[in-house]
Amino acid sequence: MTKPYLIAIDLDGTLLKDDKTVSHYTKNILTQAMNEGHHVVISTGRPFRGSERYYHELNLSTPIINFNGAFIHHPRQSDWGIYHSPLELDTAQNIVKTCLDFNVKNVIAEVLDDMYLHYEDEFITNSFMIEPSRMNIGNLHQSLKHNPTSILIRPHDHQVKELRALLKAQHAEVIDHRVWAAPYNIIEVVRSGLNKAVGLKRVAETLDVPQDRIIAFGDEDNDLEMIEYAGYGIAMGNAIPELKNIANGVTKTNEEDGIAHFLTDLLSLKESV
């Protein structure tokens, strides 16, 4: 048997089609890969609540990487460990103040699967998968009492570049930040030094898979470190140019089953009837 590979898959724009579903073909090929002894791991910027349905839909039995590496756990093995690396509360509150002084549309703090919104925001509440009981709306300086996993900033479009420069100037030593793709245009802030490669390295070590047998698929700038780290860092056909430039290869788009086509060739898989 071929030595097992670790297959790391981003969700949005990678595994998921534009309608946020997984195609039958891709799901079938991933199942074949697991039946052959390979490991499939979700590595996403989403919180667990936003990725849990896909974890179970693919019938995974591996750890999962959420919040771009800030939260890693094993949904089926409680004794595997929980790795949570949140921002310090003081740092988070300073960032909140910076953003509110900048007059952004909203600032949101996520503490694992709980969400805190500074302002009521129909766009956020309609876009994020969260139970009403886990959503808190009100002054973050008063409501946020725990170290947040991430801070999400919803700026006006013309503010993005200037605000990111300001965050870098004021908080560069303690935070990293990225911008979500349209239609969100949200700036996500996490603790410095965290990225998907950090989470992937931890998972690979527990599964005893060396770096040269890691295959990673992604499409956006939060996938850069993971694609660079993996032995096979593969950009989707719809990926940003910066990711394609550093990738080992480019596959078809998320609408064209890019993951399945690449794995079929590399691992000699075929769709079951």
Give the pairing type, strands 214-218 and 232-235: parallel
Q: Say whether the peptide bond before residue 183 is cis (omega within 30 degrees of 0).
A: yes
- The Cα–Cα gap between 14 and 191 comes to 25
Annotation says 121 is catalytic: no
Residue 215 CA to residue 256 CA, distance in Å, equals 18
Sign of torsion, CA 38 42 48 53? negative
Beta bridge mates, 117? 108, 137
Phi-psi map region of 75: left, alpha, beta (phi>0 left; psi -120 to 50 alpha): alpha
Residues 69, 223: Cα–Cα separation, whole Å: 11
- Say which of 10, 12, 176, 257 is annotated catalytic: 10
Burial of residue 240 (CB within 10 Å: 0-12, 13-18, 19+) is middle
Catalytic positions: 10
